[in-house]
Amino acid sequence: MTLTSSQRVFPHPLAALIILSLALAAPSHGALPEAPTLPATLEEDAAKKPVIDVSAKDLCVLYNNKKNPIIERLSLTGELATQWAAGTSNRGSYGSWDLPANTRWGGIDVRRWRFGFESSWLDSFKLWGIIDINPQWDPFYNDIYELAMSYSQSEELVIGVGKIKARYFSQEYNTRSRELIVFEQSLLVNTLRPQQLTAAWLTGKAGNWQYALAAYAGDYEPEFTELDAGAVIQASLGYDFASVLNMDKAIVKFDYQGSTSARNSDGPALFSSAFSLNTTFQNGCFYGYTDILGGIGRDTQGDVWGVVLTPTYFLILNKLQAVLRYQYAHGDGNGLKLPTRFEALAPDIQSTKGVGSDYNAVYFGLIYYIYRHNFKLMTGVEYNDMSGGKKDFSGWTYQAGLRVAF
């Protein structure tokens, strides 16, 4: 494949954004930015009471009055994740320019573009909504990503209902997308996880214990469920050993996912049951997570299992983080598929869809935090190897991206 001149160089819009970001990040004589918040699970965020007091620089807050007995807070929220990728392999070259035209700006992949609101009511309720935006604005609105309400008077119990990301399975999928420290989730996480589904759930923390239980309608719809595709169940139980190990965080968690129908969305359609035994460790400049994953295949889909190991370290405190991730996955009967971003775009692999039985991948990346997870630059390289199928795959993928969130 011959690259055009615009594909050989870093895309101009993203380059301009990165130059602007570096300029904003230049040292000043004022106070240093606060440390970036390391990845936190969504159930931890949901278990906390709404934070009412904010600084004057929080321009996205439309209303904030903790003395109001009805509505306490209303704010806007959004996320833009853009990235450029180029890969070379034994099956040909590929890159972000090979993605569908309606998902990118020129050669830049618009990975996520979302906009919404968050609000706090009656001291105990939270109501939020987020939509996905089409990169080409044709039309502007794509679908409802989340629209839900939760109730809680303490972190011990949070009850919710609405359409949400089916998040209570695996460490990576249970991390907010804006707080991911890798470009893409691991192969098995993407293989097993559902999409955004209409649900009722409860979650909470009691001492060192944390738990979650969620029941989802099994069909993915741009808006809400039509209740015509069975159900998906997720259950999670974890314990934080931080005090025992003298660490900032040491969570060990077991997640289970069950599916009642082959008509469920994505992963649950192929796997009747799935599990994840995952850990999250944090101490000083070190942060890391591990995951042992598996799925029981349905019909012609073979069983799968694998491991994910992700240690990280801050090379410059609060600013520059190095990330290493290793993945291994096995799928019976060629039960694995190469990642659709980006390896499956290789021209000589598309006819077989990149299926195989054994997968190894090693990723190394750097994250520069301009302001926490709200404004950061990412770059990384990953080696992928898939074997056992009709066509083995071996290749390198290089990526650079910008993440903005508010």
pTM of the shown model: 0.84
Better pLDDT: 300 or 31: 300
Specify the range with the lowest mean pLDDT, choosing from 34-38, 124-128, 323-327.
Answer: 34-38
The amino acid that residue 174 corresponds to is N
Long-range contact pairs involving 27-34 (C-beta distance under 8 Å, separation at least 24) = 32/318, 33/318, 33/369, 33/370, 33/371, 33/372, 34/318, 34/372
> What pLDDT, on the 0 to 100 scale, is given for residue 7?
41
| Closest by Cα among 183, 161, 250, 160 to 210 | 250
* DSSP notation for 91-106: T--EEGGGS-GGGEET
The mean pLDDT value of the chain amounts to 87
Across residues 212-220, what is the average pLDDT? 97
Taking each continuous run of H as one helix and of E as one strand, the counts in the chain are 6, 21
Could you please state the CATH topology (level 3) that the domain comprising 59-405 is classified under.
Answer: Porin (2.40.160)
> What pLDDT, on the 0 to 100 scale, is given for residue 405?
94
Give the span between the Cα atoms of 319 and 367, in whole angstroms: 8
Question: Which residues touch 193 (CB under 8 Å, ≥6 apart)?
Answer: 166, 169, 170, 173, 185, 266, 267
* DSSP notation for 313-341: EEEETTTEEEEEEEEEEEETTT-EE--TT
Peptide bond into 194 cis (omega under 30): no
> What pLDDT, on the 0 to 100 scale, is given for residue 318?
86
For residue 49, pLDDT beyond 80 = no
Burial class (CB in 10 A: 0-12, 13-18, 19+), 55: exposed
> What pLDDT, on the 0 to 100 scale, is given for residue 351?
75
- The model's pLDDT over 301-358, given as tens digits with 9 standing for 90+, comes to 999 999 999 999 999 988 999 999 999 999 999 999 999 999 999 999 877 778 999 9
Q: Where are the beta strands (DSSP E) in 241-357?
A: 249-259, 271-283, 286-297, 304-316, 320-331, 336-337, 355-356
Element (H or E) spanning 81, and its range? strand 71-89
> What pLDDT, on the 0 to 100 scale, is given for residue 389?
85
Give the span between the Cα atoms of 354 and 347, in whole angstroms: 11
Across residues 237-261, what is the average pLDDT? 97
- The model's pLDDT over 22-31, given as tens digits with 9 standing for 90+, comes to 333 333 333 3
- The model's pLDDT over 168-195, given as tens digits with 9 standing for 90+, comes to 999 999 999 999 999 999 999 999 999 9
- Using the structure block, give the residue that is written with the tokens 């071996």: 394
Better pLDDT: 28 or 124: 124
Determine if residue 20 is left, alpha or beta; phi over 0 gives left, psi from -120 to 50 gives alpha, anything else beta: alpha
Give the span between the Cα atoms of 250 and 222, in whole angstroms: 37
Across residues 38-48, what is the average pLDDT? 42
> What pLDDT, on the 0 to 100 scale, is given for residue 59?
64
Across residues 36-57, what is the average pLDDT? 39
- The model's pLDDT over 252-295, given as tens digits with 9 standing for 90+, comes to 999 999 999 999 989 999 999 999 999 999 999 999 999 999 99
> Could you state, in order of their start, the residue ranges of all structural domains in the chain?
59-405
**Would you say 242 and 225 are in contact if contact means Cβ atoms under 8 Å apart?**
no
> What pLDDT, on the 0 to 100 scale, is given for residue 169?
97
Percent of the chain predicted with pLDDT > 70? 85
Residues 240-277 as b or e (16 or more Cβ within 10 Å = b): bebeeeebebbbebebbbbbebbebbbbbbbbbbbbbb
Better pLDDT: 2 or 270: 270
| Closest by Cα among 253, 150, 126 to 203 | 150
Give the span between the Cα atoms of 398 and 406, in whole angstroms: 27
- Using the structure block, give the residue that is written with the tokens 């997720």: 234
